Amino acid sequence: MRITRKPLSRRTILRGVGTAMALPYLEAMMPSAHAADVAQRPKRLQVFYTPNGMTMPEYRPTGEGVDFTLPATLEPLAPHRDAITVITGLGHPQAAAMGDAPAGHGRSCPAFLTGAHARQTEGTDIRCGTSMDQVFAAHLGDATQIPSLELSMDQASMAGSCDINYSCAYTNGISWLTPTVPLPVTANPRAVFERLFGDGEVLDEKSRLARLRKQASILDYVMEDTARLSGKLGMADRHKLAEYLDATRAIEKRVQRAESSPPSPQAKAMKQPPGIPDDFAEHMKLMIDLQILAMQADITRVGTFMVGREISNRTYPEIGVPDSHHMLSHHGNNPDKMAKLAVINRYHMTFFAYMLQRMKDTKDGEGSLFDRTLVLRGSAFGDSNEHDYMDLPVVVSGGLVKGGRHIKVEHGTSMSNLLLAGLNLLDVPVTSFGDSTGPLRELTDA
C-alpha cells in the first residue's frame, strides 16, 4: 500500500515555554513507506581522541588483514571486533619541527585532524589549518541546528600545562574552524545540555534561572506540543519518540544529580564548576550520552570528544594509577611506568567501546546511528616517550567502512590520506586535504 501523506519535516521541533527540542528520525519523515531506505538517513562523523600517546607494544595488533589478534589495550573492543579497522603506520609529517624549537604536543595535537604545521607562538598569532570535522560541517551547511559539538573531559587551559613555545590553544582542542580559529571545547554537562535544548539564545535568563531553581524537566515545557504531535504518528514512531524523551529525561536527571551532589575535597581543589560529576567514569558516560542524544535528535551530525587535553596530568586512583598521566607518558622505558600507562590506555578504550555500543543501540530510522556514522579514534602520538608522530594508534569504525581488519600501511604514510578518504566517505567532494597524496585506498577497498 502506497502512503501519499505529506512527510513530516526533518526540522520539526517540539516547542514550549522558552525552549525547543529537535526530534529523532521518524518514519513520518520519509516520503513514503517504500522510501524507508538507509540512503535516506544522514551521514555523521564522530572523533574520539585520547591524549599523551600509547604504550605501543600493548596496543599494536599481531597479524594483518582479517587474521589479527587484539592486544591488551584493544581487548575492550572485542565485542566490536567485526566493526573496527585498526590502522598502523600512519603519521603526521607536518608535526615535525621544521626548524622550530623542540616540542611535541604543541605541534602534534593540532596536526591530528588538520594535517597542517602549527605556527610556533605563545601569542595570539596562532595558525594551523582547518580540521577535517569542520570541512564536513561546512559541507553540511545549515542542515542541523548546531554545526558541530566539541566536548572534552578537561576545561580549556589558558596558562600552564601547555607545551613550551606553543600557545595553549594548540593543546586545548582538536577542531579548527579556520587556520586561525580553534574551536573551544565544553566539559560541563549542564552547559552541553542547555546548548542542545535551550541556552541564552533560546531561553531568557529569568526563565532559565527559574527552571534551574525548580530542577524542572525540559520535557515538562514541551508536553502539550508532544501530545499534539504524538496523535499524528504511527505506533512505531510513537514508540521511538517515547524512547527519545525517556533518554532525554534520564540524562537531565543525571546532570541535575551531579549539580546537587556535594563535591569531594579533590573536586573542590580542582574547582570543578557545577554540573561536572566528581566520578570520572560517570562524567565520561554522561558526556558520551549527550553526544549520542545530539546525533539521535539530528541537532548535529559532527562531534569530537577529547578524553583529556594534550599534556593532561589527570591521575586515575580509581584504577590503581595515582600517577600523573603526562608524567607516565615520559616513562623512559621504565617497565613499571609503561605498565601503568598501559592501564590508563586500556581504561580509556573501555569508554570508546561504550560509545560504539551506544551508537549501535540507538535507533535511526530502520537501523541505528552506527550504520551511517564514520567513527575515528586516535592520538597525536604513538610512542609517547619518543613523541612519535609517525606511527599513530588509529581505529576506524562505523557502518560506512568495512570492519574486522588490521591494516598496516607503509610507515610514514600521511594520516591526511585517511582524513581525505573519510571526507569522501561522507560525500564531501574534495580531492586533497592537508598534506595528503591521495585518499587511503586501503580503507575503502573491499
Q: Which of 49, 45, 101 is nearest to 310 (CA)?
A: 49
Half-sphere exposure (CA, 13 Å, Cβ side) for 306? 32
- Confidence check: pLDDT of 68 > 60: yes
Q: What's the CATH superfamily of 44-187+276-444?
A: Alkaline Phosphatase, subunit A (3.40.720.10)
> Could you give the residue range(s) of every CATH 3.40.720.10 domain in the chain?
44-187+276-444
Q: Grid coordinates standing for 95? A: 608535526
> Is the pLDDT reported for residue 385 higher than 80?
yes
Amino acid at position 258, single letter: A
Higher pLDDT, 282 or 242: 282
Per-residue pLDDT reduced to its tens digit, 18-46: 455 566 666 666 554 434 445 578 999 99
Counting every residue, how long is the chain?
446
Question: What pLDDT was estimated at residue 142?
Answer: 86
pLDDT (0 to 100) of residue 263: 46
Amino acid occupying residue 279: D
Residues 18 and 199 sit within 8 Å (Cβ to Cβ): no
Closest CA to 400 of 368, 441, 444: 444
Name the region of 142 (left: φ>0; alpha: ψ -120 to 50; beta: rest): alpha
Element of type H or E holding 191: helix 189-197
Are 32 and 4 in contact, with CB atoms under 8 Å apart?
Answer: yes
Alpha-carbon distance values, 364 to 142, 175, 248, 315 (Å) = 20, 26, 16, 37
If phi > 0 it is left, if psi is from -120 to 50 it is alpha, else beta; for residue 249 that is alpha
Could you list the beta-strand ranges (E) of 100-201: 149-152, 176-178, 181-182
Contact, 409 vs 89, CB < 8 A? Answer: yes
Mean pLDDT score of the chain, rounded to an integer? Answer: 84
Whether the CB-CB separation of 285 and 354 falls below 8 Å is answered with yes
Under a CB-based contact definition with an 8 Å cutoff, are residues 395 and 85 in contact? yes
Report how far residue 303's alpha carbon sits from residue 45's, in angstroms, rounded to the nearest whole number. 6
SS3 call for 295 = helix
Q: Please name which of 416, 381, 374, 387 lies closest in space to residue 129, comparing C-alpha atoms.
A: 416
Secondary structure (H, E, C), 18-37: CEEEECCCCHHHCCCHHHCC
CB 193 within 8 A of CB 251: yes
Quick one: average pLDDT of 266-286? 68
**Model confidence band, residue 397 (pLDDT cutoffs 50, 70, 90):** very high
Our measurement of the distance from residue 93's CA atom to the centroid of its chain's CA atoms, rounded to an integer in Å, reads: 24
pLDDT tens per residue across span 136-185 = 999 999 888 889 999 999 988 655 558 889 999 999 999 999 999 999 99
Per-residue pLDDT, averaged over 92-104, amounts to 88
Residue 333 Cα to chain centre, angstroms? 31
Q: Ramachandran region of residue 111, left (φ > 0), alpha (ψ -120 to 50) or beta? A: alpha
Q: How far from 344 is each of 52, 285, 321, 331, 445, CA to CA, in Å?
A: 10, 16, 8, 13, 33
Angle at 328 between CA 323 and CA 330, to 5 degrees: 150
Instruction: Lowest mean pLDDT of 47-51, 224-228, 314-318, 319-323, name the range.
Output: 224-228
Per-residue pLDDT averaged across 71-94, rounded?
97
Which residues have C-beta within 8 Å of that of residue 434, sequence separation ≥ 6? 94, 114, 115, 116, 129, 414, 416, 419, 420
Condensed to tens digits (0 to 9), the pLDDT of residues 311-348 reads 999 999 999 999 999 999 999 999 999 999 999 999 99
